[in-house]
Structure 1
Amino acid sequence: MALSPVLEPPASPFPFLPTTTIIPTASSLFPHSRIAPSQARSTTLRSEPKTIFLRTRKAQSQDARAIHQLIESFSHDGTLLPRSYAEVCANIRTFTVVETHTHQFLGCAALHIYGPHLAEIRSIVVRPDIKGRGAGGQLVHELLRQANARGIGCVCLFTRIPSFFKHFHFYVTERQALHDKVLKDCIHCSRRNACDETAMALGELPVSPDNPQNDTFLPRHHSELVQLQL
């Protein structure tokens, strides 16, 4: 695959998305506060004495052990929700990994799709020795590209570092607005009454199924939201 950090985006299914070439940096990915359509999947990590290319790809079965071990190392203190090895294996298709051009595993993230109205970025984590060097941003960029390619209207997440995701124009929302996420995880979480994570979203907030005027998940046209779990 080409390792160029700048690629021409495809035609976007969202008429409001930018159509110009996007350079995959945190400050320029989403100038219009929308899910980016760029296909760029690689960047460079500068270190001494050489430049290392980073790239993302869909996880494969042989990545499950490394993914599970990395998530587990951050779950003991509550940074990440714990996920068993069996769960990682069963959901391996939802994961994307970031690695060097020599296939050195650096981190992972998952995109859980609830439907065309909502997807969630989950279990996003990079190795401690690589933090602050672009690997996390590369994962976010790639998952948003995947969501855009599938026509997802809104991407959400829970996080303790909202400032990081604001670089991608995610913004804070009420967790109750993310009905699918609440039903899937929040009502079963031991910290549900004392949660210290911030709900964030990007895209168009889905209409609640409890709204009597809307019996299907149709996008609202007045807000943009996203939620992530770190």
Structure 2
Amino acid sequence: MENTLVVRKAHMDDVKSMHGLLLQCAQKGLLLPRALIHLYGHVRNFMVTENAEGEIVGCCALAPVWEDLAEICSLVVREDVRRLGAGRELVHACLAECQSLHIKKVFALTYQEAFFDRLGFKVVDKSVLPQKIWADCVHCAKYPNCDETAVYFELDSAAQEAGETHVQG
């Protein structure tokens, strides 16, 4: 397989492939499942990674939560293409979307703390995310005993104004 991976905005034809990837990871307990209807309704929030054969091998969403706050969620990369930078590029693409939305703060709830640490995210207490907790978490089967780690990233305002996203990696 050629290592050519392309990140782009998701479209409706990608949803079933995204759902399959997310379902596989959810069954392993690596992330929370997403219903097919949720993915269709939120397809605009998603980026996908496509391989040279046109297969969807990864996805990630940037979900606005509050006026200047968004969540990076539903990040998954197919096992056979992990460690090729697809996850990093998906997160970078979501952070780049923050500029047009005027979002300055991003968080994720994750089991992959080291991955996000390499991208410059810092671990925070979930209590600093009250909008997320009251909007989504209270409806989760794991609430109030969530075992995910909250990570947080503040975009550099000077970089945003220059049209750049400063992220390590």
Settle same-fold status: TM greater than 0.5: yes
| Residue in structure 1 matching 2:99, options 148, 158, 175 | 148
| Residue in structure 1 matching 2:111, options 148, 152, 160 | 160
Deviations 1:72-122 (A, max 9, x none): 111123321111111111111111101124422110011101233200001
Structure 1 runs (4+) greater than 4 angstroms displaced: none
Q: Which amino acid aligns with 1:94?
A: N
RMSD between aligned alpha carbons? 1.6
Q: Could you tell me which residue of structure 2 aligns to residue 190 of structure 1? A: 141
Larger CA Rg, structure 1 vs 2: 1
Gaps of 5+ in 2: 156-169
| Residue in structure 2 matching 1:100, options 51, 60, 70 | 51
- Between the aligned residues of both structures, percent identity stands at 35
Higher helix share: 2
Map residues 21-100 of structure 1 onto 2, 5 A cutoff: 52-100=3-51
| Residue in structure 2 matching 1:121, options 64, 72, 84 | 72
> Scaled by the length of structure 1, what TM-score is found?
0.63
Q: Which amino acid aligns with 2:6?
A: R
Counterpart contact for 1:56–1:98, Cα < 8 Å:
yes
Counterpart contact for 1:116–1:153, Cα < 8 Å:
no
Q: Which amino acid aligns with 1:55?
A: V
CA distance in 2, matches of 1:132, 1:195: 27
> Scaled by the length of structure 2, what TM-score is found?
0.85
Map residues 2-21 of structure 1 onto 2, 5 A cutoff: none
How many positions carry a matched residue from both structures? Answer: 155
